[in-house]
C-alpha cells in the first residue's frame, strides 16, 4: 500500500496523469449553455457581494497584498495544470503596475508542468514562476504563502485533511485561500433528492436534448456517472466543504447550483441551442428552479466560490446561503424522506448497485474499498432480489485468500470463493422486495497491512456488489 492510502492509489495516480497529460485546454470547452447560465444565475450573486468575477476575485486578493507589502507576494496555485490562468494573473497585475508577485505552481502532471514552464519562458516571466511537481496528498508546505488558490482542484484530493493542514500551516496570518470548486456528492453524482428532480425533468425532454456527447446515443434515462470510479475526479467532493470549515474560516461565501449541473455540462449541455428561443426559455426555467431548490434547502449546492483565512473574519454571504446550510447532513434521511448517505463513512452508494440501497454506514469497508474479515451494512431492497453479483480483487501475488460467507440478518445464505486478481461471480441470494436487512460478508482469512503506519487487518478489495432482480 502507499502510505495507508490503499492498494488502488498508485493506479489512480497513473490514471490522473494519463487523463491530463495531453490536455492543453483544461478549464475551457464548456458549452454555451454553461456560460449563459453562469452569466444569468451565478455572476449576479457574486457581483452582489462586491466581486465582478472569478478572475477579479483572485487578482484582487493578490493585488491588494502586492500594493501594501514591500516584498514579493507569494502565490501558491493548487493543481495549476498548464499555468495558463496563473500566467494571466501575472499579466493582469503587471498591467496595473504590480510586479512584486511570485507564483508557485503545484501540479502532479509533469507534462503540464513542462507546458507551464515553456509558456512562462515565452512570456518572459520565468523568474517569477516556481514549478512544484508533487501529489496533493503527500505535499508538504515548504514556504510561507500569502495567497493560495484552489481553482477546480480540491475535488481531486483524497487526503483533504493533510492538504488543508499544510495550507493552514503555510498561510501568512493575513493570508487567504481562494476557493472555486465542486462540493457536491462524491464522483459528481446526484444525491437522491436531486436525482429525482433531474429524472422528472428528463422525462419531459425531447430526444435531441438527451443526446450523450460521449456516446452519441440518446439516453432514455439520465446517466448518473460516478466520475471517481478509477481516478481522483470528485473522489471526496462531498467532504471538500465540511472538512475545510474545520481548518479555516470563510469571509466571502457563495455556494450555488445543483440540479442545473447535468443540463449545462460537457455531456448534455451542448444540446441546448441558444439560437432557439424555446431552448433559452428552458434554460431559464431550469436556472430559476435550481436557485429556488437551493434557497429552500431542498437540495444542497454543488459549487462554491469563497475566501478562507487562518483566523475568523466578518462573513459575506448571498441571502441565506450560509456555510451551515450548505453542508449536506447525510446522517439523516433527506427532506423528502428518502435514503441518504454519510459523507464521513464508507461509499456504500458507489459499491452497491442494482435492486437495493445502502441506508447507513458500511462497517468493515475502508475508504479505499479494502474490506476487513467481516463487513456489514444496512440494505434496503428496491425490488425482489434473486442473486448477488460479487466482484472482488486481490493482488496477484497475494498468498492469502479463501471463501466469503454471505449472510442476511445473521443467517448464512451463500458462499463465494475469492482468489488473486479480479474475481467476478454470481451467487444465489434471495431477498424480498422493499425489505430492510443487515447484509454481511465474512471472510475466512485476513491480511495484516505492514506499510508505514498502516496496520489494518484486511481481507480483499470489495470492487462492487450488484443486487440482481428476479
pLDDT in tens, 239-294: 999 999 999 999 999 999 999 999 999 999 999 999 999 999 999 999 999 999 99
Does the pLDDT at position 333 exceed 80?
A: no
Q: For residue range 35-68, what is the model confidence (pLDDT) as tens digits?
A: 999 999 999 999 999 999 999 999 999 999 999 9
Alpha helices in 371-457 (DSSP H): none
C-alpha cell of 426? 454470481
Mean pLDDT value of segment 7-24: 68
Q: Find how far residue 324's CA is from the centre of its chain.
A: 19
User: What's the Cα-to-Cα distance from 329 to each of 172, 228, 319, 334, rounded to whole Å?
Assistant: 32, 21, 20, 8
Confidence at residue 345, expressed as pLDDT on a 0 to 100 scale: 41
Cα separation of 192 and 442, whole Å?
29
Confidence at residue 339, expressed as pLDDT on a 0 to 100 scale: 42
Does the pLDDT at position 336 exceed 50?
A: no
Confidence at residue 262, expressed as pLDDT on a 0 to 100 scale: 97
C-alpha cell of 104? 508557485
Rounded to the nearest integer, the mean pLDDT of the chain is 89
User: What's the Cα-to-Cα distance from 359 to each of 144, 350, 390, 437, rounded to whole Å?
Assistant: 44, 12, 19, 10
Confidence at residue 229, expressed as pLDDT on a 0 to 100 scale: 75
> Strands, DSSP E only, in 111-170?
129-133, 145-151
Q: Find how far residue 365's CA is from the centre of its chain.
A: 20
Does the pLDDT at position 20 exceed 80?
A: no
Q: For residue range 369-418, what is the model confidence (pLDDT) as tens digits?
A: 889 899 988 888 888 999 999 999 998 877 778 999 999 999 999 999 99
Identify which of 177, 186, 292 has the alpha carbon closest to the alpha carbon of residue 239.
186
Does the pLDDT at position 359 exceed 80?
A: no
pTM of the entire structure? 0.71
Cα separation of 459 and 52, whole Å?
53
Residue holding cell 492510502? 5
Q: 1, 9 in Cβ contact below 8 A?
A: yes
pLDDT band at 193 (very low <50, low <70, confident <90, very high): confident
Confidence at residue 368, expressed as pLDDT on a 0 to 100 scale: 80
Least confident of 76-85, 121-130, 189-198: 189-198
pLDDT band at 106 (very low <50, low <70, confident <90, very high): very high
Confidence at residue 26, expressed as pLDDT on a 0 to 100 scale: 61
Identify which of 468, 463, 450 has the alpha carbon closest to the alpha carbon of residue 371.
463
Percent of the chain with pLDDT over 90: 71
Mean pLDDT value of segment 417-430: 94
Amino acid at each position: 500500500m502507499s502510505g495507508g492510502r490503499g492498494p488502488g492509489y498508485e493506479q489512480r495516480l497513473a490514471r490522473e496523469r494519463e487523463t491530463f497529460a495531453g490536455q492543453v485546454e483544461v478549464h475551457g470547452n464548456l458549452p454555451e449553455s454553461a456560460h449563459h447560465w453562469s452569466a444569468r444565475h451565478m455572476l449576479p450573486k457574486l457581483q452582489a457581494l462586491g466581486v465582478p468575477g472569478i478572475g477579479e476575485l483572485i487578482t484582487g486578493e493578490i493585488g491588494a497584498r502586492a500594493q501594501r507589502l514591500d516584498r514579493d507576494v507569494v502565490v501558491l496555485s493548487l493543481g495549476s495544470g498548464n499555468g495558463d490562468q496563473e500566467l494571466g494573473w501575472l499579466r493582469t497585475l503587471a498591467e496595473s503596475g504590480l510586479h512584486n508577485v511570485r507564483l508557485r505552481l503545484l501540479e502532479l502532471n509533469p507534462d503540464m508542468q513542462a507546458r507551464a514552464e515553456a509558456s512562462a519562458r515565452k512570456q518572459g516571466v520565468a523568474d517569477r514562476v516556481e514549478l512544484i511537481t508533487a501529489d496533493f496528498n503527500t505535499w508538504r508546505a515548504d514556504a510561507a504563502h500569502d495567497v493560495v488558490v484552489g481553482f477546480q482542484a480540491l475535488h481531486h484530493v483524497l487526503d483533504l485533511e493533510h492538504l488543508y493542514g499544510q495550507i493552514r500551516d503555510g498561510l501568512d496570518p493575513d493570508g487567504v485561500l481562494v476557493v472555486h470548486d465542486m462540493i457536491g456528492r462524491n464522483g459528481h453524482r446526484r444525491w437522491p433528492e436531486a436525482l429525482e428532480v433531474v429524472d422528472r425533468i428528463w422525462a419531459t425532454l425531447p430526444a435531441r436534448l438527451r443526446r450523450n456527447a460521449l456516446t452519441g446515443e440518446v439516453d432514455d434515462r439520465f446517466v448518473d456517472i460516478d466520475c471517481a470510479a478509477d481516478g481522483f475526479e470528485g473522489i471526496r467532493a462531498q467532504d471538500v466543504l465540511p472538512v475545510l470549515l474545520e481548518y479555516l474560516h470563510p469571509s466571502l461565501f457563495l455556494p450555488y447550483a445543483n440540479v442545473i449541473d447535468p443540463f449545462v455540462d460537457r455531456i448534455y449541455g451542448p444540446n441546448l441551442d441558444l439560437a432557439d428561443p424555446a431552448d433559452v426559455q428552458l434554460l431559464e426555467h431550469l436556472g430559476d428552479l435550481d436557485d429556488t431548490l437551493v434557497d429552500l434547502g431542498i437540495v444542497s449546492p454543488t459549487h462554491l466560490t469563497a475566501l478562507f483565512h487562518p483566523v475568523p473574519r466578518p462573513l459575506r454571504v448571498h441571502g441565506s446561503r450560509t456555510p451551515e446550510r450548505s453542508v449536506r447532513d447525510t446522517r439523516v434521511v433527506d427532506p423528502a424522506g428518502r435514503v441518504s448517505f454519510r459523507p464521513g463513512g464508507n461509499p456504500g452508494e458507489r459499491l452497491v448497485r442494482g435492486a437495493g440501497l445502502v441506508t447507513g454506514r458500511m462497517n468493515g469497508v475502508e475508504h479505499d474499498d479494502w474490506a476487513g474479515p467481516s463487513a456489514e451494512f444496512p440494505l434496503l431492497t428496491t425490488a425482489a432480489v434473486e442473486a448477488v453479483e460479487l466482484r472482488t480483487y486481490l493482488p496477484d501475488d497475494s498468498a492469502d485468500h479463501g471463501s466469503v460467507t454471505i449472510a442476511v440478518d445473521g443467517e448464512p445464505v451463500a458462499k463465494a470463493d475469492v482468489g488473486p486478481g479480479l474475481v467476478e461471480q454470481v451467487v444465489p441470494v434471495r431477498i424480498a422486495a422493499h425489505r430492510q436487512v443487515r447484509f454481511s460478508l465474512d471472510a475466512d482469512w485476513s491480511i495484516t497491512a505492514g506499510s508505514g503506519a498502516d496496520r489494518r487487518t484486511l481481507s480483499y478489495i470489495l470492487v462492487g456488489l450488484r443486487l440482481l432482480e428476479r
